[in-house]
Amino acid sequence: MSARPASPASDDPRAAFHGRVTAAVGDLRLRHAVEDATNRLDTARQREMDLLPGADALRDRARQIRAHTIGMLDRYLVQFADAAERHGAHVFWADTAADANRYVTDLARARGVRLAVKSKSMVSEELELNQALEAAGVRVVETDLGEFVVQLSGDHPSHIIAPIVHRTRDEVADLFQQKLNASDDEVSDIPAITAFARRTLRQEFLAADMGISGANFAVAETGSLSIVTNEGNGRLTTSAPRLHVALVGIERVVPRVEDLGVMLQLLARSATGQKLSVYTNIITGPRRRSSSDAPAQVGAEPDGPDELHVVLVDNGRSRILGGELAEILYCIRCGACLNACPVYRTIGGHAYGSVYPGPVGSVLTPALHRIEDWSELPHASSLCGKCREVCPVRIDIPRLLLSLRADRRSVALAPRWLRTAMGLYASAAERPWLFRTGGRLASLGTRLLARNGWIKRLPGPVSAWTDHRDFPVVARRSFTDLWRQRGRSQ
């Protein structure tokens, strides 16, 4: 299965986005599935954060670590690469998706790879690595249960940490019966479905030539990779095949092991409401092998890959550094903002059209790619601030969304009527007398259109509002008038 496209399929990104949103809003099954799953995750996050001693101080510390690291990213990346190579890893710096894909496919050809197993990796989705490997004759098997379902169905992930949040258990059972000839007993409940998937994937792990993973964090101090999962597939992917390739976004570095400890305390709690994920792995280099003249060498390891290749992926990230949007690189990919966002909970992940959905994706996708192709995403938010409230590193996502909305390239793509209206509003806002006059005219006009204090249908392009809700009448007296009256009466 190919990954989610990195750009909209339609020639008109605005129309494509609104089409996806309209379809999602009208899909009641999807809305119920997403609402149930995100509510469960968000509730679990809140429970565990309430139980964490000094949670606010820990979040403040995590933000400091991320800000410091991103501010000195060049230094820590070099430190990580040097340390990783000292421990036997190969490090490749990939400026673009094409560079990363070319390196991995060339490596697969050179080592005669025919089968690659993958642990969950959003970066690989971003790069469209599956497509590149399949074009090179390598069969790729996703081994995370959610990603396995996505691949089997020809679908794509709709959530950063829960790829099939948009699917129900019955849908997965039907899929396994159709595609894998599972019996009724083998898909009778969730444990049976999981056991069936485990048996199916076990042979793939044993036969694979290459294991591909992402990394939640890369530790500059030691050259180690930390990979956090709730399934054993991550460990099998990184240890059973003779080759391990880790794809790491350059922003995923932490300076020290001590800093990693801070991040791990927040990651699982924010993502799934666990104190710690079931499998928290720290990998430092490939397996240590005994030499021919010292077969009993201390520290020699019988298991693990013969080679570890770390691909440090830029793909637009360095362009964000030092700019107004650099704060989005603090993100630790927990998905908490998705689970809390009222917009994501209504439309799900696919409507965004991006590998990275939800509030974080509405900033990251336009920042990484052409904002002209993704100008609608920053507007897919109510700016309620819930995303900022739940973010473990306190990223001010509403501020970043407003920054993207104000970008001149985004503004230039807005409809002419909207640009004209906003220009008139700005002109009035700069002239108090004109603003007051406009308010009075708006009050009079809306009362003429209203019935029982509400407008059922607005004219022209603003009719989109009354397609779904009534519009309130503008008050007869402004807040300023009421405030002045209050001052006079005191």
467 pLDDT tier (thresholds 50, 70, 90): confident
Question: For residue 292, what pLDDT is reported?
Answer: 54
Residue 7: is its pLDDT beyond 50?
Answer: no
Query: Given this model, what pLDDT does residue 271 score?
Result: 95
Distance CA 84, CA 223 (A): 4
Residue whose pair of structure tokens reads 């928290």 in the numeric block: 280
Is residue 382 over pLDDT 80?
yes
Q: Which carries the bigger pLDDT value, residue 107 or residue 432? A: 107
Average pLDDT over residues 152-170: 91
pLDDT digits (tens, 9 = 90+) for 402-412: 999 998 888 88
Region 362-389: what's the mean pLDDT? 94
Q: Residue 5: pLDDT above 50?
A: no
Q: What is the DSSP string of 78-118?
A: HHHHHHHHHTT-EEEEESSHHHHHHHHHHHHHHTT--EEEE
Instruction: Compute the average pLDDT of residues 312-335.
Output: 96
Average pLDDT of every residue of the chain: 91
Q: Are 165 and 348 in contact (CB under 8 A)?
A: yes
Those residues with Cβ within 8 angstroms of residue 255's Cβ, 6 or more apart along the chain or in another chain: 65, 68, 69, 76, 79, 219, 220, 221
- The two structure tokens encoding residue 384: 């309620």
Q: pLDDT class for 2, splitting at 50, 70, 90?
A: very low
**What residue ranges define each of the domains in the chain, with the CATH number in brackets?**
13-290+299-319 (3.40.50.10420), 417-489 (no CATH)
Terminal C-alpha separation, the chain: 71
Structure tokens at 29: 């099954």
Give residue 1's pLDDT: 34
CA gap 61, 80 in Å, rounded: 21
At residue 36, what are phi and psi to the nearest 5 degrees? -60, -45
Q: What is the dihedral of CA 147, 150, 152, 154, to 10 degrees?
A: -140
Residue-level pLDDT at 9: 45
Instruction: Quote the pLDDT of residue 290.
Output: 65
Q: From 291, 257, 339, select the one nearest 39 (Cα to Cα).
A: 339
Pairs from 4-11 (Cβ < 8 Å, separation ≥ 24): 4/125, 4/156, 4/157, 4/354, 4/355, 5/128, 5/353, 6/97, 6/126, 6/128, 6/355, 6/369, 7/369, 7/370, 7/373, 8/353, 8/373, 8/374
**Rounded distance, CA 145 to CA 353, Å?**
22
- Of the chain, the percentage scoring pLDDT greater than 90 comes to 72
Give me the pLDDT at residue 462, please.
82
Q: pLDDT digits over 178-234, tens only?
A: 999 999 999 999 999 999 999 999 999 999 999 999 999 999 999 999 999 998 899
pLDDT, tens digit, for every residue of 258-314?
A: 999 999 999 999 999 999 999 999 999 999 876 555 555 556 778 889 999 999 999
**Per-position DSSP letters for 350-398, written without gaps between them:** GGG-SSS-HHHHHHHHHHHS-GGGSTTGGGS----SHHHHH-TT---HH
Q: Distance (Å, rounded) from C-alpha 423 to C-alpha 22? A: 29
Q: In which residue are the tokens 């391990």 written? A: 244
Instruction: Kindly indicate the confidence band of residue 485, based on its pLDDT and cuts at 50, 70 and 90.
Output: confident
Q: Is the pLDDT of residue 377 over 60?
A: yes
CA 252/CA 313 separation, integer angstroms = 10
CB 396 within 8 A of CB 388: yes
With 80 as the cut, is the pLDDT of residue 13 above it?
no
Structure tokens at 107: 């490596």
